[in-house]
Copies of this chain bind each other. A is one copy, B any other.
Amino acid sequence: MAVASSLNPEGPQPGHNALEALTALVAGDLETCNRLIVERMDSEVELIPQLAGYIVAGGGKRLRPVLTLASARLCGYRGERHAALAACVEFIHTATLLHDDVVDESDLRRGRASANAVFGNKPSVLVGDFLFSRAFQLMVEDGSLDVLRILSNASAVIAEGEVLQLATTNDTATTEDAYLRVIRAKTAELFAAACRIGAVVADRPAADEEALTGYGLNLGIAFQLVDDVLDYSALQARLGKTVGDDFREGKITLPVVLAFERADEEERRFWRRTMEETDQRDGDLEHAIALMQRHGALTETVERARGYAARAREALAPLSHGPFGGALLEVLDFVVDREF
């Protein structure tokens, strides 16, 4: 992503990006997956499908289930199991979103009111638990202990990453390593698992599982790095997303880590006041963005993302033939260069 162009409303047009191209390749499978999602989030307790439907229908890109579907097809899988497993991945993701929004006290998600803002924190916590349980019920129906192992491990690591993130919040002494440990756990692990189960369901050898795991893990890190840059992007505001959420919450992301490392004493006082004491005033967000730009913190974070995308490309190399391999590689550029 060129940071300058993120301030430019003329970005790539929706309908013409690599993620949509990949999604189109698995359109039929995704339809099955979406149908399963709607069927299986149902419950006699009406509030559950209401709330789950609100967030599931909330305009997500379905990136993680698409990765599962595409990975399975890349591995030559011809059955139907992958659609249910992709739904499991989306349920786990949705459950973590619901709990994240409660933990972060977020009012907006994907440009509209978050589920906790509409329905309250209590049902958000409980419906998250429900979706998480549903994911495991679906995996049990599928019957693969390997998939159950991969996704229960991923779920535990995600929770660890979220707790770790709490420990770094408001701490300007957070290092790049500590930050990377957080995002690897809270975000990249599920990307890795989503891709890996594509190889598992296709019954491919360990080397292929590793290739897809490496692809997913590095893609996930790149994805989160860019997400963290976008939280300081003016274009985001125009797309109806809140900007500066991380700033307001005192969440220490790589742009802050880099800007703080390069800051003079006065700037450090600014970061400590705004991020540690969360004593924030009008104009502070704009000043934070200006400091990040002065020190190249946003462009450098995007460069780091590009580095992880390169690792993902390398990991996938043995499998990157054919339309699915090509589309998965192109998604790497999309993730780094996206502006939304």
Contacts and interface: CB of A to CB of B under 8 A. Distances in A.
A45 B129 contact: no
Interface of A: 43-45, 47-48, 95-96, 99, 102-103, 121-123, 125-127, 129-130, 132-134, 136-137, 139-140, 143, 145, 148-149, 152-153, 155-156, 158-160, 162-164, 166-167
A159 B140 contact: no
Contact of A162 (B126, B136, B139, B153): B126
Contact of A136 (B129, B155, B166): B155
Contacts of A162: 126, 129
Contacts of A133: 152, 155-156, 158-159
27 contacts: A43-B160, A43-B163, A44-B160, A45-B163, A45-B164, A45-B167, A47-B163, A47-B167, A96-B129, A102-B125, A122-B166, A126-B162, A126-B163, A127-B159, A129-B158, A129-B159, A130-B160, A132-B155, A133-B155, A133-B159, A136-B136, A136-B152, A139-B152, A140-B148, A140-B152, A143-B145, A148-B148
Nearest to A129: B159
A137 B95 CA distance: 18
Contacts of A126: 99, 103, 159, 162-163, 166
A124 B149 CA distance: 24
Name the 8 nearest CB pairs between A and B, nearest first. Answer: A130-B159, A133-B156, A133-B155, A136-B152, A129-B159, A103-B122, A137-B152, A126-B162
B129 A148 contact: no
A48 B152 CA distance: 17
Nearest to A185: B45
Interface of A is mostly: helix
Given A43-B160, A132-B155, 8 more contacts: A45-B160, A45-B164, A123-B163, A129-B155, A133-B158, A139-B152, A140-B149, A145-B145
B123 A166 contact: yes
Contacts of A95: 129
Nearest to A164: B45
A164 B136 CA distance: 21
A315 B127 CA distance: 33
A167 to B, nearest CB: 6
Contacts of A164: 45
A136 B121 CA distance: 25
